[in-house]
Chain A
Amino acid sequence: MGSSTKTNWCDPSQWLRWHPKGPVLLAGSNDSTVWLWQRKWIALPQPAKVKIQTAPQCPPVLPCKFSQATLGLFSAESSHRMVSGLFSTTERDANLHPPGKRIVTACGGNTLIYWDPRSPTPLFKLTAQNARFDLSGITALAVNPASTIVVVGGTEGGVRVVNLSKGEVISALGGHAEGESVEAIVFVNIVGAVDGSSASVGSSGAGTVVTGATDGKVCIWDLNTSRLRTTLEHKVSRSTLSL
């Protein structure tokens, strides 16, 4: 487990992620740290006048409070806030690491770190000192279903694809306008859509990723070829008078 001299969590959290399987919560903070919490639900006495109704398929609903024990604390040792973080993915056929066994975090100062939750020492760290990884600050990231690749977006519209086994930048994806921040990244299952199965994207290669930015574009990328498949745009029609 991660270790630290810090005992109180006082900085505001920036984001929260549930572990894909277990009762564990990952919380990113303003002070460039990430906390790993163990969840415990403690039932409280039910208020006498409250009638609890439950559907047949739902577990009983009880008043409860959130209790926690710290499992680990990871620090990027940076003056920047922790902008995002993820557990490795939920797919059952992940062949590199079982689901939730690794953590990826991104710091606003353009630092990407890959962690084993059992150790406070990163497996690897990528910073702006690596010229291929300089995004002028990270804003979004997503891990593919096989947990082999992380896609990272930046404040200036840049997108990088990083191999999680080697800690190396595989490719740079240029589709968003320069100076426009990449706000969201998700992996999408094109293969499952074609054959009607629920086969994972990872089973057929690097997969297909979707990025959205402040330029109003949604870009769909084929990571097997590092090519842009489609660009979708939010457009609203506006009437103007042409003189």
Chain B
Amino acid sequence: MLIGLQDAITSLLVHSTKPHLVISSSSDHTLRTWDARAGVLVREHKGHQELINSAALGRNGEIVVSAGDDNVCLVFGTE
């Protein structure tokens, strides 16, 4: 059987050029982009080996940078 396992949300961001998009970081090692209007998951970014502490968007919203407990910063494209 499959069960859901919830992990803590550590930060939230609003997309700078698409303000209906919210990006959440989590202790489940993922960064996720949600459409707040439709309430659906748009994108999931994986790569961290530990929890993500914080994230920041580039000025034009094309990249998002995440910082994790694995001592790594990862740069993801938002598109």
Residues of A within 8 A of B (CB): 180, 183-190, 192-194, 198, 208, 210-218, 220, 229-230, 232-240, 242
| In contact, A229 and B39 (Cβ under 8 angstroms) | yes
Partner pick for B6 among A185, A190, A216, A242, CB 8 A cutoff: A216
Given the complex of chains A and B, what is the CA–CA distance between A189 and B34 in angstroms?
13
Q: Which of A208, A218, A236 contacts B24 (CB 8 A)?
A: A218
Query: Which of B18, B22, B28 is the one whose CB lies under 8 Å from A186?
Result: B22
The answer to whether B4 and A235 have CB atoms under 8 Å apart is yes
Please report the C-alpha to C-alpha distance between residue A193 and residue B21 in the assembled complex, in whole angstroms: 9
- Bound: A222/B12 CA distance, A: 17
Interface residues on B, range: 20 to 34
Q: By the criterion CB–CB under 8 Å, are B3 and A184 in contact? A: no
Residue pair A215, B6 in contact (C-beta under 8 Å):
yes
Q: List 27 A-B contacts (CB under 8 A).
A: A184-B10, A184-B12, A184-B24, A186-B12, A188-B19, A189-B14, A189-B19, A189-B20, A192-B20, A193-B18, A193-B37, A210-B14, A210-B36, A215-B8, A216-B6, A217-B6, A217-B9, A220-B36, A230-B39, A232-B24, A232-B41, A234-B28, A234-B32, A236-B5, A236-B7, A237-B3, A238-B2
Cα-based distance from A180 to B39 in the complex (angstroms): 22
A218-B9 in contact (CB<8A)? yes
A188 contacts which chain B residues (CB < 8 A)? 14, 19-20, 22, 36
Residues of B within 8 A of A220 (CB): 22, 36, 39
Listed residue (B10, B26, B28) with the most chain A CB atoms within 10 angstroms of its CB: B26
Residues A210 and B22 in contact in the complex (CB < 8 Å), given A188-B14, A235-B4? yes
Please tell me if the beta carbons of B12 and A212 are within 8 angstroms of each other in the complex. Answer: yes
- Which of A217, A220, A234 gathers most chain B CB within 10 Å? A234
Contact of A183 among B8, B18, B37 (CB under 8 A): B8
Q: Tell me, rounded to whole Å, the shortest Cβ–Cβ distance linking A180 to chain B.
A: 8
Q: In the complex, A208→B39 CA distance in Å?
A: 13
B30 at the A/B interface (Cβ < 8 Å)? yes
Q: Write the nearest CB–CB distance from B52 to chain A, whole angstroms.
A: 11
Q: Please determine whether A184 and B11 come into contact, CB atoms closer than 8 angstroms.
A: yes
Report A-chain residues with C-beta under 8 Å of the C-beta of B9: 183-184, 212-214, 216-218, 234
Nearest residue, chain B, Cβ from A239 = B2
